[in-house]
Structure 1
Amino acid sequence: MRRRTTKAEQRADTMEQILDEAEYLFSKHGLHGVTLKDVAKRVGVHHTLLNYYFEDKKKLFDAVFARRAVVTSERRMKALDDYDAACGGNPTVEGALHAFLDTDLDLYIEGGEGWKNYGALGALVANTPEWGADLMDEHFDPVVLRLIGLLKKALPHCNEADIFWGYHFVTGALMVTLARTGRIDKLSGGLCASDDFSQVKARMAAFMAAGFHQICGKR
Structure 2
Amino acid sequence: MTKKDKSEKSERILDVAEELFALHGFDGVTIRQISNRAKVDVALANYHFGKKLDLFHAVFDRRAELLSSSRRELLQASSGKKQTLEQIIEAFLLPLKMAQQTGDPGWKNYLALLANVMISPLWSKAMMGKVYDIRVEEFITALKGAFPKAKEEDIHWCYHYVSGALALTLAQTGRIDKLSGGKCLSSDFDAAYERMIPFIAAGFREVCG
TM-score (norm 1): 0.91
**Among residues 101, 105, 109, which one is paired with 2:96 in the alignment?**
105
Matches within 5 A, 1:186-197: 186-197=178-189
Is contact 1:36–1:57 with CA below 8 Å preserved after alignment?
Answer: yes
2:148 maps to which residue? 156
C-alpha displacement at 1:100, in angstroms? 2.2
Quick check: which has more Rg, 1 or 2? 1
Secondary structure in 2 aligned to 1:83? coil
**Among residues 42, 45, 58, which one is paired with 1:63 in the alignment?**
58
Deviations 1:58-88 (A, max 9, x none): 1000000000111110100110011334xx1
C-alpha displacement at 1:97, in angstroms? 0.5
Q: Which amino acid aligns with 1:122?
A: L
**Among residues 13, 18, 38, which one is paired with 1:43 in the alignment?**
38
In structure 2, C-alpha distance between the alignment counterparts of 1:207 and 1:182, rounded to whole Å? 21
In structure 2, C-alpha distance between the alignment counterparts of 1:215 and 1:123, rounded to whole Å? 25
Which segments of 5 or more consecutive residues in structure 1 lack a partner in the other structure? 1-5
C-alpha displacement at 1:92, in angstroms? 2.2
C-alpha displacement at 1:133, in angstroms? 2.4
Matches within 5 A, 1:76-95: 76-85=71-80, 88=81, 90-95=82-87
In structure 1, C-alpha distance between the alignment counterparts of 2:38 and 2:90, rounded to whole Å? 38
Q: Which amino acid aligns with 1:36?
A: I
In structure 2, C-alpha distance between the alignment counterparts of 1:150 and 1:19, rounded to whole Å? 34
In structure 2, C-alpha distance between the alignment counterparts of 1:15 and 1:146, rounded to whole Å? 33
1:29 correspondence with 2:24:
yes
1:3 maps to which residue? none
Alignment identity in percent? 44
Q: Which amino acid aligns with 2:77?
A: D
Secondary structure in 1 aligned to 2:123? coil
In structure 2, C-alpha distance between the alignment counterparts of 1:125 and 1:152, rounded to whole Å? 26
1:72 maps to which residue? 67
In structure 1, C-alpha distance between the alignment counterparts of 2:147 and 2:79, rounded to whole Å? 14
C-alpha displacement at 1:134, in angstroms? 2.1
Which segments of 5 or more consecutive residues in structure 2 lack a partner in the other structure? none
In structure 1, C-alpha distance between the alignment counterparts of 2:171 and 2:161, rounded to whole Å? 16
2:107 maps to which residue? 115
1:9 maps to which residue? 4
Deviations 1:10-29 (A, max 9, x none): 11111100000000110011
TM-score (norm 2): 0.95
In the comparison of the two structures, how many residue pairs are matched?
A: 208
In structure 2, C-alpha distance between the alignment counterparts of 1:137 and 1:157, rounded to whole Å? 28
In structure 2, C-alpha distance between the alignment counterparts of 1:104 and 1:122, rounded to whole Å? 10
1:147 correspondence with 2:142:
no
1:132 correspondence with 2:124:
yes
Q: Which amino acid aligns with 1:104?
A: P
**Structure 1, 125-134 or 7-16: larger mean CA deviation:** 125-134
C-alpha displacement at 1:139, in angstroms? 1.7
